[in-house]
Structures are given as structure tokens and as C-alpha cells.
């Protein structure tokens, strides 16, 4: 599919063409054509960073036309890709460790977004950018899950200027002691007063084991992943 006559800039169209793990012959030719135009590489990099698409941009440009990309740009994309891959592998290992911790203490939990979505959507842990780990537990286990993480050195994040911060909340935000990993413990995905709150309770009977990072973890089926809100409020900007 090409994006002709859309009014998009060449940079936006190039990024859209690269927003996939598999590029067909027609799309590859369009990518080469766009690169042959007067691409503003600085604007393209900013756009890719803003949309958390740096890995996919590198993946496709490096595969399709690396010699047509300025060396300094390709090198920047390569270094960004390698750093993201390292970070994602570290996050995946940490996620498995925390899920095992919960299992050992009788806390039923499953991950969503983050590294698991990278594997589910892209079949490649390195191709997605995310900034934290999201783990869902039952509401009755939420305090226990929070305390288990605190026992591992995580710190509960509570704004000092919001004394009623946990009123009507559906998650805990915790930061690792070294600041490398942020974890969000969810027991719902939407606030209770939303007109159409997502019924998380229905998920627990639908979880299925999947292979992930050398371990077996629980995950909702794909159709539920499509419905689960990826962003749940105005303060959740950023990739996850």
C-alpha cells in the first residue's frame, strides 16, 4: 500500500512505509524513491523518536537501501537499535523474574504491553520501544504485589502534592532502586467512573500460557489484547 496524494511530507511517508516488519517489493521501491528525494534526515529522526519507531526505521532502511542513507544517519540508527535491543533484553529478563516472584507467593499475574507485546506483534523483542513493565494482578492481590516489589527494593511513586492520589486509582507505580526499571501494577485498565470501563475480571479465565524469553508466562488471547486500553489517562504519555 502506498501513501500517494495524502499531503504527507516525504519524511512522514517514509516513516509510514517503514512501520512494518515485512516490506513487499512495491513498498521497498517507494522507500528507495523517497530516499532519492530531498529527505530532511534530522526531521525524520525526530519524527521516528517521537513515534517510538527508531528500531523499525533502522530495521527497514538497513535491509532495503543502507548505501543510500547518509553514513552518520545509519550509524545513529544502528547505535539506537543496539541500545534498545540491550535494554529490551534486560527488561524481558526482569519481567520473568518478577512474574516468578509473584508465582512463588501465590499472586496470579500476567504482563501486557512492554516486551511481551514486542514479541507478540513483531516476533522480535528488539523492534519495539517501551519505557516500563506493566503487570496485571487481581485487585485482592494488588497490595501484596506492591509489597513484594517494595521488598525487592522498589519504591512506590506517590506525588507529594496529591494526598488523595490513590482515590479511584487502578494501578501502583514503582521505581527500581537503581532507577533502571519502572513497574506498573494494574488491577484494572480504566477508572471506575468511565462510561465504558474495561471488565478485567473476564480475562482471568481466558489466559493461556505462551513462551517468552526462555520461560512460560500467562497472556490474554490476541482479541483481548486488541481491546485492552494501551493508554489510560492524560499522564500516561510515552511508549510502554
pLDDT for the residue 236? 36
pLDDT for the residue 55? 97
Q: Which domains does the chain have, with CATH numbers?
A: 10-69 (no CATH), 88-227 (3.30.460.40)
pLDDT for the residue 42? 96
DSSP notation for 153-184? T-EE---TT-TTTTTT--EEEEE-TTSS-EEE
CA distance 74 to 113: 28
pLDDT for the residue 1? 42
- The cell numbers describing 19, all together, are 512501520
CA distance 69 to 129: 22
The answer to whether the CB of 230 falls within 8 A of the CB of 221 is no
pLDDT for the residue 195? 52
pLDDT for the residue 5? 52
- What are the φ/ψ torsions at residue 216 (nearest 5 degrees)? -115, 125
- Supply the Cα-derived Rg of the chain in whole angstroms: 20
The Cα angle at residue 116 between residues 112 and 119, in degrees rounded to 5: 145
CA distance 210 to 220: 10
Residue pLDDT tens, the chain, 240 long: 444 556 789 999 999 999 999 999 999 999 999 998 889 999 999 999 999 999 999 999 999 999 999 999 999 999 999 999 999 999 999 999 999 999 999 999 999 889 999 998 899 999 999 999 999 999 999 999 999 999 999 999 887 666 666 766 788 999 998 889 999 999 887 655 555 556 677 788 889 999 999 999 999 888 887 777 665 443 333 445
Amino acid at each position: 500500500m502506498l501513501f500517494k496524494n495524502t499531503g504527507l511530507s516525504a519524511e512522514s511517508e517514509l516513516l509510514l512505509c517503514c512501520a512494518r516488519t515485512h516490506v513487499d517489493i512495491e513498498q521497498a521501491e517507494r522507500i528507495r524513491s523517497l530516499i532519492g528525494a530531498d529527505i530532511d534526515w534530522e526531521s525524520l529522526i525526530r519524527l521516528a523518536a517521537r513515534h517510538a519507531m527508531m528500531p523499525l526505521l533502522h530495521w527497514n532502511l538497513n535491509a532495503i537501501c543502507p548505501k543510500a542513507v547518509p553514513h552518520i544517519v545509519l550509524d545513529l540508527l544502528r547505535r539506537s537499535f543496539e541500545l534498545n535491543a540491550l535494554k529490551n533484553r534486560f527488561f524481558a529478563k526482569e519481567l520473568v523474574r518478577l512474574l516468578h516472584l509473584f508465582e512463588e507467593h501465590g499472586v496470579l499475574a500476567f504482563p501486557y504491553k512492554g516486551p511481551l507485546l514486542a514479541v507478540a506483534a513483531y516476533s522480535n523483542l528488539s523492534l519495539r520501544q517501551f519505557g516500563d513493565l506493566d503487570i496485571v494482578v487481581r485487585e485482592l492481590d494488588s497490595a501484596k504485589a506492591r509489597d513484594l516489589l517494595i521488598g525487592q527494593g522498589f519504591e512506590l511513586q506517590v506525588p507529594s502534592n496529591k494526598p488523595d492520589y490513590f482515590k479511584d486509582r487502578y494501578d501502583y507505580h514503582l521505581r527500581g532502586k537503581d532507577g533502571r526499571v519502572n513497574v506498573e501494577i494494574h488491577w484494572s485498565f480504566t477508572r471506575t467512573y468511565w462510561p465504558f470501563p474495561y471488565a478485567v475480571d473476564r480475562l482471568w479465565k481466558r489466559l493461556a500460557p505462551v513462551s517468552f524469553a526462555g520461560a512460560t508466562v500467562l497472556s490474554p488471547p490476541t482479541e483481548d489484547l486488541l481491546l485492552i486500553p494501551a493508554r489510560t489517562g492524560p499522564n500516561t504519555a510515552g511508549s510502554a
